[in-house]
Chains A and B, each alone.
Chain A
Amino acid sequence: MDANTSVPLEKIGVIDLYGTIETPENVVLTFRLAGPGLRLWAYSIDFLVRFLVIALSGIVVMIMSIGLPGIPMGMWLLIWFFMEWGYFAASEGFFRGKTIGKHALSLRVIQDEGYPISFWSALLRNFLRAADFLPFFYCFGFISMMFAGKFLRLGDIAAGTMVIQERRVKLPREPIILEKIQPLDRTDIGSFVPAHRTLVLIEEFLERRFVLTHRRGHEMASILAGILAKKLDFQGQESLVEDYPMAFLARVYVTFHPTMSAEDDDDAAAERAQKPRRKTVVAY
């Protein structure tokens, strides 16, 4: 479930989690949209925050009202009003599309051209909650999300906004461990050369193998490993393909990848050096 697959997203007939926009720099950016489930969680957190603010200030007001009747109570009603109509608009408008709940779930509201949300859009999309809420608990909003695409509720459609999931921006690690892997013996394989795409696929799989358990990783790798072994007419150990398909894929990768001549180890060194360097960068 990651972006940038080579199949155009329009051609996949499923609910699309990704939105794309084209920037003025002619770069196409992909966004991971936030669906109703995540947004419900964020809403629940915000609801709790608003409820607590109203309840806690209510207690303060009750205490203050003993000495000073009237005014604290009036202020409390204003706070209540603000929590009802202003909380979302103000936090999205002033904190670049984030409320406390959205922040907790790394969601952000942006304009659908990719720009930060404007103040008026924040106001509009949140005033229109009153319509999305109808007839009870965001029914219209949910229906709109299902039919408008991009999970837009009515407020999003009118304000030209969308809610996206933000990822932690992290440079992916190179599969460093490949350095130590021996290429396959040329005498064990035929003349078949795997396509560049296949090698890229293997590389990505190995890059991300840490998200899988060892067993599941081998299980998934065995499909491709089996096919490749057949195509390559692999004559080496059977057990390599059958018991350690991930290792087999790694060796195929090392064998055929043009730049895997194992001359540079400084990528790993840079990786290790990154933490101290970050501190020095902050200084200037």
Chain B
Amino acid sequence: MISKREFRRQRREDWARFTELIRKVDNSSRRKFTAEESSEFSRLFRMVCNDLSIVRSRDWGTGLALYLNDLVTKGHNIFYKSPPSRLHQFLRFVGSEFPRTFRRNFLYFCVAAALFFVPMMITWGVVQRRPELAARILPAAMLDQAEEQYKQAEFKKFGAERAVMGGFYVRNNVGIALRCFAMGILLGTGTVYVLLMNGIVIGAVVGYVVGMGHDEQILSFIVSHGSFELTAIAVAGGGGLILGDAIVHPGARSRIDSLRTRGVEAVQIACGAAVMLMVAAMIEAFWSPAPIPSEYKYAAGGLLWILVILYLSLAGRGGETA
């Protein structure tokens, strides 16, 4: 049997070379091996794996075993790395993967949409008839502010203000949607709470402003971006419900496995919702408050709603079997 020292002496050249190769690509997904280096790397990788087994089975001490363990770990990390992400992958995601994933999990979206839109509509209807009830849901100061905002026939002019609002809408709305998604891991309870809460608050504000007689201003304002925004919140909620359901109904898997398996689809849906909300924020900032007659806004809003529905139901359909 070969001695430990002999073994070290014979193998250390390879270990050093392997370390060199690792160092070459470590910490950056941009640096790559040449063709020869690739095959050299995979040959050395298998040899180092083998060395580690030998050292362990012969009980040649933790120092050497630890060293080889770490070499193999680094090699493993490089050997099995996924290809780096590129822009066209993002476009493919938005163009087809996200709507497909959305459709595969359509039922979750339906439940989330129900939890969001039904309380919204009920609150809206009730508050529109009796605006004084809104004060039970929201502080009076906030209602006054909302009314003040829509009282003016003309919105503040284009320019400075709008760009700021664009940034604000992104941060605020995407934040709400992602929080709504994330809290789904608390067995879905967080998602349900956020959906109900936002549904009721939005319903109350709209109902109140409409009830006070500013219906044209507020409806023409929200119709356009509402298409992307409200839908996206329900979409993100659907993602959160997938997480919750994965834990509650794991099926044949363990709960953790189930969560892990379905987590990928859930986060893809949440990510798609975030993209939709960024689109919504741009519409809300630059189009919705435009000083043009309401008819144009209703027309554009209608088209946007159709666009959203078509996008979610049809995008990426052709390639689905391919």
Contact = CB atoms under 8 A, between A and B. Distances in A.
Interface residues on B, range: 35 or more
A5 B186 contact: no
B5 A174 contact: yes
A31 B73 contact: yes
B35 interface: no
B20 A278 contact: yes
B160 A69 contact: yes
Contact of B182 (A73, A96, A98, A131): A131
A20 to B, nearest CB: 10
Interface in A80-127: 80-81, 84-85, 93-96, 98, 110, 114-116, 118-121, 123-124, 127
B63 A172 contact: yes
Nearest to B84: A94
B243 interface: yes
A272 interface: no
B178 interface: yes
Interface stretch (A37-45, A196-204, A222-230, A234-242): A196-204
Given A110-B77, A119-B85, A130-B182, A78 B171 contact: yes
A70 interface: yes
Interface string A13-32: 00000000001011101110
Given A73-B167, A78-B167, A169-B70, 6 more contacts: A23-B72, A96-B81, A98-B27, A167-B70, A171-B67, A274-B16
Interface of B: 3-6, 8-9, 12, 15-17, 19-20, 22, 27-29, 45-46, 49, 52-53, 56, 59-67, 69-74, 76-77, 80-82, 84-85, 159-168, 170-171, 174-175, 178-179, 181-186, 190, 243, 256, 259-260, 263-264, 266-268, 270-271, 274, 285
29 contacts: A3-B65, A70-B160, A70-B162, A71-B163, A77-B168, A80-B167, A81-B170, A96-B27, A96-B29, A114-B76, A115-B77, A115-B82, A120-B264, A124-B263, A131-B186, A131-B190, A134-B183, A158-B263, A160-B260, A167-B70, A169-B71, A172-B66, A204-B61, A204-B62, A207-B61, A207-B63, A259-B5, A267-B9, A281-B20
